[in-house]
Amino acid sequence: MIHSQALYATKNDTGAFVKKYVNILMLFFPITSFVLVPSIPGTTVITVLSGLLFFIIPLSPLKEEKRQFYLELTYFFCLIMFLSMGSQFINLVSHVKLTSDLKLINRNDFTNTFYRPSHITQSLSLIAGFVIYGYVKYFSDETVIKYIYWGLRLLCFYGLYEFLLYVLTGINGDFMVNRTVGYGNKSASLFQTFNLGGIGLMRLKGYTGEPSMFVFTVFPFWVLTFALKRRFDTYLLLCCLLLTFSTTAYFFILLFMGYWFIYKRHFQIFFYLCISIIVICFVLQLDMFQHLLNNLYDFIFAGKMEGDSTSSRERGKSLINHIQYWASLNGFSQAFGIGFGYVRSTDFFSTLLPNNGVIGFLIFTWFVLKNMWLKISVPILSTCYSLGLLIVYLIMMASVPEFAYPSLWIFIALGFVLKKATDEVPEFKQALID
């Protein structure tokens, strides 16, 4: 009897440990420019810890959760193998050729089109992302939300430290980055600066590597703070999003805020906000401020929308080249693609289409957006989650080709956590309604 009780207590401890372990993982999910083994780009903190947890889960007593986790993981592996074997078989029989216009992840052995090394390594990154998704979906509860936002706070604090240090001293204060990516082992962290009215500023990125990646990581969780009533996080994340000086961030901030005021029927606030914007724009037109406005507008909007900036020209050229290449393929390759992880464009749409074809694009779109129709019982929470999901999908398709960032997989899985919490935890639901 004593032995049975001890065994039962041990099993319960193991189950609780798994849930706590998943919570701790959330503190590290934004860290993507630092790796534990510099020679292996995929060894980020969360990836390594997730790999260790994979061997602990079989010991946990969470039978139903384990069954569902392994079942969905099996479906995922079957789908990956189907798409992989389909694309590679088509490459062999149709003698697919790669062109010099493509941005290949691995430029070595340019003539090889059958199971290129990048096809294997990128598939492993995809599997790691899906495993993290499974952890959050099946082995966490509403307490994981607190850890997710603490992970984002640490990211923001580090980003603000970098930003302020550069303003005060002109020094790049990023002491964490050690990851290299791509051909030529380029640094995974971009140090981007500009001059605004004689003041040197840097674009905030934290340890995500790039301002656009920071926006991709943070934006959906910022939208969700409005429903979760996390006021401190709302203002902190908004401040950091503004300091990225990202066109994408500014566009979606204006779009979401306009929608939010209308949704909440704050027409009076919306009116005063519009008046304030007009007044600010008028003041900035004065001679003493006009050069600041012109510099800021040219940097954030004009250069990119008019195609004058280097990044906008590169994005446009890359988009056209990859879509034209996909259009030149045979019908089967257009359907299945040439292989996951072959090319990496400047956006995920023109990355996914050549790599996985129309079938891969439709499957990915369905997987990301299907949670928009989750029946979360708190309407405002359901609305904010759905908007965050849609926005992160659009950001990804338009400007971020990085599918392996844990933030994407965590946010997708978070919908199931929110649904379960609002259905089964009355205190959680009531706190959102009050």
pLDDT attached to residue 395: 93
CB atoms within 10 A of CB 348: 22
State the pTM of this model: 0.88
pLDDT attached to residue 61: 85
> For the CA atoms of the chain, what is the radius of gyration?
23
pLDDT attached to residue 6: 42
pLDDT attached to residue 268: 62
- DSSP letter at 201? E
CA 66 – CA 246 distance, rounded (Å) = 41
CA 371 – CA 326 distance, rounded (Å) = 29
- DSSP letter at 28? T
Tokens coding 288: 């003493």
pLDDT attached to residue 67: 93
Phi-psi region of 84 (alpha: psi -120 to 50; beta: other; left: phi over 0): alpha
pLDDT attached to residue 230: 93
Query: How many domains does one find in the chain?
Result: 1
pLDDT attached to residue 9: 44
Residue in the block written with tokens 């401190």: 232
DSSP structure string for 40-52: STT--HHHHHHHH
In the Cβ-directed half-sphere of 308, how many Cα atoms lie within 13 Å?
A: 8
Q: Which residues of the chain are modeled with pLDDT < 70?
A: 1-13, 108-111, 181-188, 196-198, 266-274, 276-312, 434
Q: Which domain holds residue 426?
A: 2-433
CA 326 – CA 105 distance, rounded (Å) = 17
295 bridge partner residues: none
3-state secondary structure of 420: helix
With 0-12 / 13-18 / 19 or more C-beta atoms within 10 angstroms meaning exposed / middle / buried, residue 57 is: buried
